Amino acid sequence: MVRFVLVHGGGGGAWYWFKLVDMLLSSGHEVEALNLAASGIDTRTPADVFSLDDYNQPLLEYLAALPENDKVILVSHSLGGRSAAYATELHPDKIALAVYLAAPFCSNHLGPEFWYERIKDTSVYDLFYERGKNNLPTAVMRKKSLEPDYAHQLCSSEDRTLSRMLDRAIPTAALFGSFTNTEEKYGSVPLVYIKTLQDLACPPEIQDKWIATHPFGNLKEVLTIDSDHCAALSAPSRLHDLLIQVVGAHAS
């Protein structure tokens, strides 16, 4: 039996993993799908989130509370890769394997400047100023009028509707907080990357760049899945099988 901890992407929540959770439980594993701060059913708003520690509090507290010598398989999606990389730097002894699904998986080349460049176009993104216009924006969300299903083009209409109903604005603290991954800590945990081949939100060429510029030797394998950005919704069975495969290969 393996314990999986699942970390959603920006604007998502634990709900994103509901199909995969059911499959992993049916396979006899333990699973914990978390809601990060101001995400999913977490009751905080982006104005309550001032730092990476605030945003990632549910994940950091979960890992810190694990019994001594207990380790998990940490699976992250999209922006959740930033949370996973941060948590891995702080708690490398709690993670047997980190799996990144269409996710940035090292902070060192993907700092705040990278994320600022992605969201500064206000024709594409709505910015929210819950602390007033004289302060930095507290949250960002892609305009719903623009290609609403660009991340879910291979999902069922029901799953696309579910995503539109449940997605929330992303606290900017999740994007702009700075940290450094080190070889001593982050680099001591084996990593696997799963590239989403039909991804319109995070195209394969961007993922290839992340893979090519990874600075440490702990990337053990790169796999592909023929899915859109939201593989846990559009290709859950294949994703389940890949996770079981990589656990057997790299976390035994």
**Would the pLDDT of 108 be above 80?**
no
Element (H, E) at 164: helix 157-166
pTM of the model: 0.95
Please, are residues 108 and 180 in contact by the beta-carbon 8 Å criterion?
Answer: yes
Q: Is 156 buried (19+), middle (13-18) or exposed (0-12) by CB count in 10 A?
A: exposed
* Arithmetic mean of pLDDT over the chain: 93
Give catalytic residues, as residue numbers. Answer: 78, 199, 229
Question: Which segment of 64-68, 172-176, 232-236 scores lowest on mean pLDDT?
Answer: 172-176
The average pLDDT across 87-110 equals 91
- The per-residue pLDDT for range 174-217, each reduced to its tens digit, is 888 889 999 999 999 999 999 999 999 999 999 999 999 999 99
Give the distance between the most distant pair of CA atoms in the chain.
52
Q: What domains lie within the chain, and their CATH numbers?
A: 3-250 (3.40.50.1820)
CA-based torsion, 172, 175, 180, 184: positive or negative: positive
